[in-house]
Amino acid sequence: MSKVLTVIFTLALAMSLNAQTVLQGDITTNTTLTANNSYLLSGFVRVNSGATLTIEPGTIIYGENATQGTLIVKPGGKVIAEGTQNSPIVFTSEFTKPGASRPPTYGDWGGIILLGNAPINIPGGTTAIEGPGDTYGGSNADDNSGVLRYVRIEYPGIAFSQNNEINGLTCGGVGRGTVLDYIQVSYSGDDSFEFFGGNVNAKHLIAYKGWDDDFDTDFGYSGKLQFLVSFRDPAIADQSGSNGFESDNDGTGSNNTPLTSPEWFNVSLIGPISQTGASINSNYKRGMHLRRNSQNKINNAVIVGWPTGILLENLGTINGAVNGSMFVKNSVVAQTTKSLDTARSNNTFNINTWFTTTMNSAIFTSAADIQMVDPFNSSSPKATLQAGSPLLTGGVVPPADGFFDQTATFRGAFGTTDWTSGWARFDAPTSVQESGSEIPVKFELSQNYPNPFNPSTKISFTVAEPGNVKLSVYNVLGQQVAELVNGYMSAGSFVANFDASSLSSGMYIYTLESGAVKITRKMSLLK
């Protein structure tokens, strides 16, 4: 007999003064998670066929470390997680809780696994997903696993063994009836996103400081994707070799159908090399590693700051480039050690001619040449384009198919508008901890301590009402140098740690904003 959902009430979090609910076992009936509670995923929590898990905007779900907490939506089950720009849904490590025994880190919990009945190219039509081993795959291309919209997934990703991992967001045989939009995976202990077959479409995906690959596709995945960006930590990479894209038809490069052939528009893969000669982890490899007979169709992509920009490997993929079934059109490679490379190819294929002439793509020497705003900023990256950037024009017009945004004729994930604003988070959540046990009645910003400081200081603040909160640091010229908080927060008292190791001595201004309220103070860095 299958286990039923176990609900255990514990002491309230100080931040919300509401109960914590522990989720265990199988969810067999329609269940709703509400924003006025917090939740703990304990072990493999499965949404079974016929059941729907609904999650309200602003809800926080913690993954338990000891049990490798993981949310698994099985074929026929659904998750409806519809956050908003100002009230995203957050899945995160239990070690981000106030008073946790240690800071959160990569791979603190499992992640989210969506499994469906859409086609995959494994003989027999079904197979077991890596990690928990649940079965996925089928013949229903329109299969619906639910909705993930305005969702952050922080500190997930567990490697059980080689080629047996749970990623930040794993999609196995997920159909195009599913909605994936505005999703950020941060600090994943394996890949940030992986698509095992299926044909689900997705927009507005962020891979932030992942361990292994940012976007991994295989087993016949053939969905549509638009507006994807990844940012890397120069020091963190996987021993297997970390890439922006890694794409296979399958593990052997067979001709099994459907072929892995996703259609990509408007991608920015921001690598670890912030400037020529910068020190990075030696396990960093390529912006795009396209291999094993995968037939990707890539348009309007930007690959910047990788040791190798694009590697085409294996004859199946290279033959696809020759005959036009695989392409990287109207795209840009910049600031790489080696722009383009091939492996195990014939001697007649010239990748440089193919890329710059056949594909109408370009190679730039420096990241400065493409005029992004601030793509390598560690805590507040901006891959939007400056006015006058050569990337604002020259892109392919996306098809009028009801999914792609046809106005996105720029190259990269952004024009001049930042679609990450309000819901995404680029500072480590570990930098903010609750400091009090009572809900405050005032919106306050305290003087930092110590002050003057070198190189770090603490900034205390209180939030009287739940809402979007932003805590930023500026230099005396009004230029933002750090973004310590930017996102939805419950009422409570907090302390943010500000590390100014990379900044020079001088006066700085820090500002706390929520709605129409704005408080500003000054602090002094002395080195």
CB 186 within 8 A of CB 198: no
HSE toward the beta carbon, residue 89, CA cutoff 13 A: 25
SS3 at position 95 = helix
Q: Does residue 7 have a pLDDT over 50? A: no
b/e burial code for range 403-437 (CB count within 10 A of at least 16 → b): bbeeebbbbbbbbeeebbebbbbbbbbbbbbbbee
Among 173-177, 267-271, 430-434, 454-458, the least confident range: 430-434
Name residue 207's beta-bridge partners: 185, 230
Say what the pLDDT of residue 17 is.
36
CATH topology of domain 435-525: Immunoglobulin-like (2.60.40)
Give the model's confidence band at 318: pLDDT under 50 very low, under 70 low, under 90 confident, else very high.
Answer: very high
Domains in the chain: boundaries: 1-200, 209-428, 435-525
Which one, of 330, 359, 352, 201, lies nearest residue 266 by Cα?
A: 330
Q: What is the pLDDT of residue 440?
A: 52
Cα 400 to Cα 115, 403, 407, 408, distances in angstroms: 29, 8, 10, 12
Top pLDDT among 43 and 489 is at 43
Nearest CA among 481, 504, 306 for reference residue 377: 481
Interacting residues of 94 by C-beta distance below 8 A, sequence separation 6+: 40, 62, 63, 64, 65, 69, 100, 108, 109
The number of beta carbons lying within 10 Å of the beta carbon of residue 311 is 24
Closest CA to 311 of 335, 331, 332, 285: 285
CA atoms within 13 A on the CB side of 94: 20
Residue 381 or residue 14, greater confidence: 381
d(CA 223, CA 240): 26
pLDDT band at residue 243, thresholds of 50, 70 and 90? very high
Do 243 and 214 form a contact (C-beta atoms < 8 A)? Answer: yes
Sign of CA dihedral 238, 241, 247, 251: negative
- Using a 10 angstrom Cβ sphere, with 0-12 exposed, 13-18 middle and 19 or more buried, the burial of residue 27 is buried
Parallel, antiparallel or unpaired: strands 44-47 and 70-73: parallel
* pLDDT band (50, 70, 90) for residue 441: low
| Confidence bin at 201 (pLDDT 50/70/90) | very high
Specify the pLDDT at position 162.
66
Across the range 303-328, mean pLDDT stands at 96
In the prediction, which pLDDT does 294 show? 98
213 pLDDT above the threshold of 70? yes
What confidence score (pLDDT) does residue 100 get? Answer: 82
How big is the chain, counted in residues?
Answer: 527
Share of the chain above pLDDT 90, in %: 73
pLDDT at 29 exceeding the cut of 90: yes
**pTM for this structure?**
0.80
Q: Tens of pLDDT along 151-165?
A: 999 999 987 666 778
Which range is most confident: 11-25, 109-123, 486-500? 109-123
Query: Looking at residue 400, what is its pLDDT?
Result: 98
Q: What is the pLDDT of residue 451?
A: 77
What is the per-residue burial (b if ≥16 Cβ within 10 Å, else e) of 110-144?
A: bbbbbbbbbbbbbeeeebebbbbebebbbebbebb
pLDDT at 19 over 90: no
Residue type at 387?
A: A
- C-alpha angle with apex 97: 94 to 103, nearest 5 degrees? 75
One-character DSSP codes across 149-171: EEEEEES--EEEETTEEE-SEEE
